[in-house]
Structure 1
Amino acid sequence: MRLTKLELHGFKSFADPTVLTFDHGATAIVGPNGCGKSNVSDAVRWVLGEQRARLLRGAKMEEVIFQGSSARRAVNIAEVSLHFENEEGILPVPFKEVVITRRLSRSGDSDYFLNRTPCRLRDIHDLLRGTGLGADSGVVIESKMIDLLLSDRPDDRRELFEEAAGVGLYRDRRRSTERQLEATTNDLTRIDDLMGEVQTQVRSLLRQRKRAERHAEITTRRFAVELTLASREMSAWHEELTGIESRLGGLRDGVPATQEQVRVAEAARDAAHAARAAAETTRQERATVAATARQAVLELQQQLAVAEERHRNALSRRERTVQERDEGVAFGDRMRGEFEAAQADETQCAEALTAASTLLQERMATEEQSRAGVTAARTAADEADRAVQGLREQVRRLELERETAERELAEVAQRTEALRAEHEALSARLALADRELQAADDVLAGAREQAALAENALDQARATARTARDREAAARADVRRVEEEHTALTGRLAALEGLERERVGLAPAAAKLLRERERFGGEAILGPLSDFIGADTSVAAQVERFLGPTVHAVVVRDRAAAEAIRSWHAETNPGALLLLPLDTLAGAADVDPEDLGSRVRSEGAAGRWVRALLGHVKAVADGSAFVDARGAMWLPAKESGAGPLRRRAELEELRTQLGSIETRRAAVQAAAQQVHDEVVQAEAAATAAADATAAAQQASAQAAQVRNERDRVRERAARELADAVALSEKLAGRHTELGDRVTAGIAAQDELAQRLIVSEQTAASARTLLTTAERAQDEAREGRAAQQVAHAQAEARRQVATERRERIDRERHTAAQRLATLEQELATLMQEVGALEEQMTIWQHEIASRRAVLQDAEATFAAAEEGVRLADATLADQELALTQARRQAEDGAQALHLAELRFAELSGKRAAIKERLETEWRRPLEELLANYDAVELEDEPLRAEADELRRQLEQLGPVNPLAIEEHEEETRRLEFLTTQRADLSEAQTKLHAAIKEIDVTAREMFLTTFAEVRTHFREIFMTLFGGGECDLRLENPDAPLDCDIEIHASPRGKRTQRIHLLSSGERALVALSLLFGIFLTKPSPFCLLDEVDAPLDDQNIGRFVKMLNQFKQRTQFIVITHNPRTTTEAADAVYGVTMQEPGVSSLVSVRMRGPAVDTAEPADAAPVV
């Protein structure tokens, strides 16, 4: 499995489609700071599924999409693809080439593709599992990882080891399990509290049962009594309603006879109205003719103004077009000169490219000759180095064994001293345990005393709560009484409002006219006269008696509206109807304070009619007669029922009473709420006392537990003291044995040192010869690399010149096309100016002709206006005669109105009692009347019994009618809680076991990975430093998952152990050794190194290059670097990243191991120097 290609498009600074091709070995990516080199490593991380924008050097994931530059717009999609060769079938798919693609749009859509087929991120992870690739793998090694390893923060260093070991998943599982355990423990605590509450509730429900049964018996009896009374009342109302219905039939049959008397007067009025309508029609026709002529003049004037404006615009556009044409001619001349210069530049660049290619071939031949000499010298030097290395390994092993023995000897001494201190500490702990045991006894006694006090407080709080509940029951009874009064008033008010809304009691003709008022326009009919009169009940009755049928008159806007209604009346014949036009009264008459007019409120626009009808009229003291200013006395008929004025007065009184009742209701509800709050406070106090009692009992139990724990601590201290004495004796024997081993190691080490000196002299001579050969090879390689760069520069310059010539040629053609377009536009504008001037002359003559027609039409309209005025005078005379005829028909309509009013009143009472019963018993009235047992008593005893039953329910207070069911339910709930507590206890035990199992598995994985990293670290350290020693140690081996990881390193010839005492370059090399050790523990097909060689000097760079050459036979390396030695000595191919265009990265590639030079996409990229 091998990485073959990386494709980028729209990712960060790579705006254009860019392709990087990789072969075996190492590929270097170089370029100046800020050109976008590290964006390549970000792209590899991203396409492998990285979800953390922070690791991609961004705040949010959308920032990986190209954001635009000074010359380019931002793109909407970022896409990266990795191509793998799968000849060995390592990836479990039937393809020899596998392409993994990730795409992100600015809308937030993120897609993954496998061989251009859509898939999920999980599918990518499953495919790469076991290959060493993935978002969390070590495929990318960057410079900040060196800082993490060398950091003083142990968590940063541990994070790299845990990532390699895969322990993070187990840490997440452990945290999740701990949260579940905490939740389970909390559930156990809550369920214990719930069980105590439920047990108390079961006992309380048992006491409520008898009260609920008594309440049910009283409610059943009250239901029978209430329904018996309601049934009797509704039967009586039904009989009266039947009589009213029969009487209404007779009254309605007599209405046509009285209406016939009115029709004769209406016929004469209709003739006058028809004459007036004809005159109005003539006036409107002539007005239309005048308006049409006036509109024609205005339209021609507007068209002329528009034409003048278009003429001015056309002249202005013609001037601008001529100017733009002249500028286009000058621009075309300038482009011809630039095109010829660009052609010459392109020819010169092509000649320079040919010369650079020839010189490059010569430099590559020279490099190949020097490479053969270096190979022979390196073979001899390697043989000498292997001999020296063998002796050094023997010396190192002896040094390591001796130092290990010395270190263990020091540790034995330290441990002995620590045991003496521990002996003293254990004695002090034993004395402390005795004192703590005595203190625990004192705490236990105090806790038991507090528990007794808390129980007394609980009894007092429960007594207070019972008293508050009794007061709450009385307050609720007051609320119910006020609610009943409010319901009765609301029912009466709703019935009257319904009658008022339906205009019940209003004369039939007036009611029909109001229903069809939209036929005459929204403002023509203002409403019945009664809507404009306001008074209290007594005055309203006097006004109704005085006005008689006039109270049913309808107020209209003016005479014209009255005429329109008269035509409708003649067509429909609805009955007698009185109209009061507002424009027939010149002004308001003076009103005497004793008149009826001063005792009413004139509301709205009809106030003048109210004052005209009721002014100068006084009522006799008993209201049986009325006298006007002339002394005439009016004796009205006997009252037959309430009219619309009295109904409106009663509505106002009911609304006032309803407001008072609502105020009372709010007061009693507030009082009930206050008592309820006191109940809640009392119950809360009782609950708090119960909690305090439980807390005191729990504190007592905890104090007993603490005392037992102190006793166990004392016994444990005694055992540990005995163990410490035994261990001290064992350490003394070990100290003597280690001293003998140190003496023997020193003698063997001196002998090997003499042999090592001779071998090192031989190896030094061989290395001198190798250095000379390598220097010659370096000079040849540098010459070849410089020529390759020059060749790439020449190619880039030729490409730029070609593109410049093509761009200038396109601009020349565009300018020529624009010039032709401007000539056409100029000709069109000249034609448009001529046409407009001709049309303006025609319209000016037409305006003069139409103004003469307008003067004739206005004279004819004035004559038609005079005809309408004469018709209005005739119509007014006929209207007065019709009014007198209609008054005679009002008496019959009044009798019909009174009967209908009584019928509506009884219907309202029946609806109110139906609503009250259905609201109280929450069932339809028909169902209530069909399911009650009638009581055989007179009405008065029944009403008395109903009041007594209501009083008994109030005394009984609120009860729980579901006490029996709730008691059974709470009992079942208590059983369920008991079972649930057992399940939670079992779950708690299993969670403890799961946490222990997770710890064991994570510990084993971490220790296994740690051992492998430790082995690889030592091997790579020897390769980079050519000797010395290194090691990884756990600060506390007994707790590997939580302790710090220490790095010890001593380069050859140094005795330093701690890496903080090394130079910066040596520390960086140690960190690289460890990073490669982690990488080899979890290897992947390729490794990307992002500027990890930045801190290394020339000597350490040589070691780093040697390591790359050693490992690149089995792993592909992509190295992002600034160092020329890394590029020339280790890289098989080099990619240069530049920003020739600001903000946009481009590539140029140079093949280091072959005869040809490859240019990466895009082709116009500039080379890296």
Structure 2
Amino acid sequence: MHIKNILISGFRSYRDQSFQVDLSPKNNVIVGKNGSGKSNFFAAVQFVLSEKYTTLTAAERKELFHAGSGRPALSIFVEIIFDNSDGRLIIPGRAEEKEVRIRRTLGLKQDEFRVNDRRFTATEVRQLLESAGFSSSNPYYIVEQGKIVNMANMSDEERCQLIKDVAGTRVYEARRKESEDILEETSGKYKKIEESIDQLQKRLTELEAETAELKSLQEIEKERKCVEYSIFFLELTNAKECLQKLDEERSKYVSSLNEQRDAENNTKNSIEIEETNIRNCAQRIAHLEGEMQTLEREATKLNSKKAIAQLDVADAKNSISRNESERLALQKEVENLEKHAEKVKKDLEVGRKNLNQHQRKTDHKSNELASLEKKMEALLAKRGRRKLFKNKKERDLWLAGEIERNRNTIETHRKEITRINKSIEDINNRIHEEDKNQKEKEAATKKVETKLADHETRRGTAIAMRNTLNMERRNLWQKVNEQEIIVQRLQDEWSRSRHQLERAVRHDIRQGVQSLREVLHELADEKLNSAVHGQLIEIIDVGKGYETAVEVTAGNALFNVVIDSFDVGALILDQINLRKKPGRISFFPLDTCKSEPIRFDGKEGCSSLMEHISCDPKFKGIVAEVFGKTAIVSSMEEGSKFVKEYNCDAVTMEGDQISRKGGITGGYLESRNLRLLSFNTEKKLSERLENEKTLLEKLCQEVAVVEQKITEAMNEIESLRGETSRAENDADADLRDARLHDERKVRLEKHREKLMETRKSLEKGMADANSSLELLQQETREDFVSSWGEEEENHLESVITEVDKTREDLSALQLQRVQITTEVQLLEDTIQNITRRMNIARDRIRELLWVNTNNQTLTREQGNVDEELSIVSARLKTLRHSIAETTNEKMASEENLEILKNKQFASARAVQERRGNDEKKQIQRTLFVQRRDDAMEKIRKLGIVPKDASKYSGQSLGMLMYRLKENNEKLKKYSHVNRKAVDQYTSLMETKNELVGQKEILQNELKSIHDLMEHLDKKKDEAVERTFKQMQYQFEVVFKEIVATEDCHGELQLVRSAAKKNAGEDPYIGARICVSFGLGTAITDLGQLSGGQKSLVALALIFAIQRCDPAPFYLFDEIDAALDAEYRSSVAKLILKDSENCQFITSTFKTEMLEAADRVLGVFFHNKTSRIQAISLEEGVKLLKQAAFEERKRAREIEE
């Protein structure tokens, strides 16, 4: 067991404190600056666990409240959360709790403890803590600042008393003091009893002489009592016989009257049934007529819709016939065009092959001609230059210019070819893209048909779903109408029942209950609402047949409101009065109504009325308060017996009451007017009405869901219609786009051919320039010759001849190519025209198919309208039949109602006639009851009747009166006799015997007290001796662990008294400490030690106490303040060692303690508010250094 967390709210410097991380079950070290709130933290723990704060004055309470910024708190609390995994803290009734929370809340007028949210007294909390190991005789599990110094400066006597406290001698001494007080009190009683016995003996001697005359007087009085008893008994018997005769006559009358009243009640019930049936029939007829009118309007709409649909379908059929003929013709045309197109494509392929072959030949011949022409031009130029230039230099200069010009031409052509290649590549990509787009559009067009078919299928499904949902909605509307009739009927019945209940309850009580509801609603306080449980009539269930008895017993108390406490009632009444609400209201507080019912021990013919009432167990006290002292009996005679025997009230099943005070009430109670039955009827009707309303709401929700689905189906139909239209439009657009892409592709291909021709021309020009460049370069390498030779002239002529021949061949080839090109172009135009016509025909076929599909949809919609109209007509027929049946039923009920009312009137007149006779009988019965009661009262006053009184039982009333007169004459002679002599003698003798018995008891008690005191003295000495030995051993061990030197030792010695010990006196007068720190001799006078050594000895004594009487955890507040560094380390190690078995929470200003810490907690103070949080070891050291620095700085400022 250890402390897991501590919650502090408003205590001293802590406004709102809790640990985000649970405390360690081992060693927790708290560090912080001076004044930050460390001591307040320990005070908060003592506030809950220690007896230091048990009694607080108003000023002391105020000092505990947080005085920081912000609004002051009205109450404070400290809550300590224990880990109870080991089960040391045992909460009564909840022994298995793994976590225990002890909270103390303090206000200006409040001081309470709570353990796991259950209220405990301070004493119960102390007992709970002591059961877990917190000894009240050992308060050293919390060591405050200054306690170390006090212990170091203790005298031997104080130290001895400390050992006695740890041993628990205060308990022994308290019990011994109690025993001495009891002994003194018992001795006083013993002396008084002896004196009383002596006085009684004297008075007994005097009374013996007066007893003889008294006995003669008693014999005469005994005979007179017998005569009087016989007279009174004879009068009682006569009165009872007359009463019995009257009761028998009344019983027959009541039986007959009850039968007649039962018949009258049955008639009333039948009248109510018939009236209810008439109202229900009228409501049902109204609902059915309303539904019929709705359906008639719907049928009218459907007929109009049907006529329109028939016209649309007739037009659609004619259109389908025409469209089919056109579609077949177009289909045949497409087939012919496809065959023609196939033939043309084959001819076009052959033509394109021939064209390509002639083109290659033409190109080859053209290249050949160009080469020859270049060669010829070069020779001609060379011949001209021979004549033009005078020397080699001029020629070479001109050749250089021509070479540069040719190079520029080559470069220009190369760039242009590159540009053209790039353009061709772009055109190829665009052609590819156009071709791809064309195929995609064509594929999209083909998908449209599939998509349209899918749309048509989905549209048909949606229409079927719409029709199904329409049918379901009609069925639900029918159910809703029927349910509305049921709800309206129950609403009317509930209203009548509520009105009947209100008539049965007093107006001021109803107003009071209504005022209560309004106040609770206005306050809107959940806690207050939960403290109000409702009226008594609402929280009880009465067994069948006992309603009358319960109602006459409780009366208006049935409408008293059950609340948690008297304070709640006072608060509600204040609020009602403050708001000036009307009415009268009474309360049953649970905290004050705690009666116990009378038990009748299974008596036959009698049982507790409470046994026939069931309720929640927490309301048993309230129910017992009202019904616990009332018996339910079978008859008035039986009730009279039980009233006397048990001093209770009695009630019969019929409601007749006999009060224990003597009152008798009763009479016929009509069951239909009972408030309890009216309330139960209203409650059941309310529950049924709620259930039926819930069902109606559910049906309406189902209608809404179906209508939502119908809307969704209609939206889907419209959506599909729109999607179909859009798909058709998209298909048209895709077809147009596909054709546009095809046209663009053709134009791009033509452009590409032109670019390729241009590229050929450029390539040819670049080849010519290269050839010229080579010739010019070759000429520069030749020697300059000014004349033109014959060989060269022959060569030129042969080249010219070859050029002419090549030109003729090229012209023939070009002519053939033009013819072939014309044929190919014609075939291509034919293919385009065929394709265009095929596309037009296919588009028209597709359009006709779509039109046919729409026409089929119209046919289906006509079928749906016919089906809906058939359903509506069938429902109208059913409604008309139901209205007729309900009308007949209503008429039959009206006839029965008239008959029942006549019967009720005749019965009421007969009952009125019988009541007059009954009233006369009741007057006679009252007289005889008075005679019987007078005779019984006289017999009761006689007291105990002698045994021989029966000897006068056969005599007449006159003879008995004569004997009574004789006895009265004899009694006149004994008027001087002391009539109380015998009674006084007997009473005094009994008193004397009782006092003698008490005297013997007191003698035994005196002996037991003396024995107990001797036993307590012995036990106390043994406890002190045992505790001292344990503390002596533990002090030596702890001292050695702390000082940690070889020659050190510490010893605890008891000093015995030199005087002889008397009874109850203590043999020990002091406890001496002898210590040695390993240097010099042992020291017994602690005043010779330094301050640190004194603190060390005091700490050793504290640890010894803790080991002798261990607690689950310890709180130390700066116990190392006066220790040297080496001793602080030893103390820290000792705490670290002991923390394996218990928890330590220690505050310190020294770093040695931090090294042994399992968790470090820092205390911070800001804006007059302290806060504790877990920090690291390094942060703790840093915080201590800051605190030490500020302390030194403050000291220097003070010195200056």
TM-score category, normalised to shorter length: 0.3 to 0.5
**TM-score, normalised on structure 1?**
0.33
| Greater C-alpha radius of gyration | 2
**TM-score, normalised on structure 2?**
0.32
